[in-house]
Amino acid sequence: MDTFETLSELTAAHGVSGDEGEIRTLIRTLAEPYADEITEDVMGNLIVHKRGDGSKVLFAAHMDSIGLVATNIDSDGFVRFATLGGFTVPDLIQQTFRFGNGTYALCCAREDKLLEAKRRDLYLDIGAKDEKEAKELVHIGDTAAYVSPLKQLTKNRISGCYLDNRIGCLALLQALEQIQNPANDLYFVFTVQEEVGTRGAKPAAFGIDPDYGIAVDVTCPDDVPGSEHDGTTYLGKGAAIKVLDRSVICSATLVRNLNELAKERNIPVQQDILSCGGTDAGPIRTTRGGVITGGISIPCRYTHSALELCDWNDLDACVRLITAFCEKEQPGV
């Protein structure tokens, strides 16, 4: 699959938490040529099974994104909204959004509050002349997502919206494409509702009951001006092997095994310690009687904004590490 074109499709697809239908359909189409079986659970998680004889291994990449949900339409046709997932006010002001039905919306702040705007001072302008026209375009409960096409900044670096976590989804899809001889029984799960509390991963892991679980997601790097050193990773230095974040302390054995595997295969890696945020690794780790759990992360600057930034080299290292883990028989639990 073409890396840039596929990631462009993934980041443009609508998939706000709880409204993941469009992105789920796209990923199913992309995964079908490499899957033995594809199912969908009650939560809406997409489960891609690639059969093998070894240990049962679950890889999870969340396909949902942060977004907005319409809560009120006033008499002048302006739309009020609530957020789904973590936003800051600066991330929202003067950004373009698109509702799932294709209606565009400009996020604006009251003029008298522009310099000190709070979340309650923001609204969506969809260009409607009045309430009647607005209600023909948007309904209460409709969700909206950023509009920011993927851009190639330099040879190795790209920017756009929803690299968190469509680049993680791409990593799983590319690994599926590259795996030649699976030594383990593989479940690639594209999870829902991660951005509103990692809600999809736990039922998915409970249903699959894996021996190993690895979350594939982005992580916040420590390589920008003014960094408060909440993270340990840098763009361009390779796949980030998760050690811990606020949601999980990863299996020390799995962390060591991933590092040893990377050394064997000459895959560039770094260690991912994050003092804020979490991933699907958290709920997977505590499912049933506990799962041997880790994470493989891709450093991403400016997460939850419309201009996230990643490095192709980190994606490549992530795909190589996932593929190597899948093709090496893991000991039974």
Residues labelled catalytic? 194
- Residue 152: beta bridge partners? 158
- Pair 304, 273: CB distance under 8 Å: no
Indicate left, alpha or beta for 314 from its phi (over 0: left) and psi (-120 to 50: alpha). alpha
The pair phi, psi for residue 171, each rounded to 5°, is: -60, -45
Written as six digits, the tokens of 261 are 């595997």
Q: Is the separation of the CB atoms in 317 and 325 below 8 Å?
A: no
Q: What's the token pair of residue 328?
A: 């090496």
For residues 93 and 122, give the distance between their C-alpha atoms in angstroms, rounded to a whole number: 8
Q: What is the DSSP letter of 199?
A: T
DSSP-assigned states of every residue in 79-129: EEEEEES---HHHHTT-EEEETTS-EEEEEE-GGGGGG--GGGEEEE---S
Give 283-327 as a DSSP string. Answer: HHHTSTT--EEEEEEEE-BTTTSTTEEEEHHHHHHHHHHHHHHHH
Q: Please give the full DSSP string across 237-299, using - where no structure is assigned.
A: S-EEEEEE-SS-B--HHHHHHHHHHHHHTT--EEEEE-SS---THHHHHTSTT--EEEEEEEE
* Cα gap 301→285, rounded to integer Å: 26
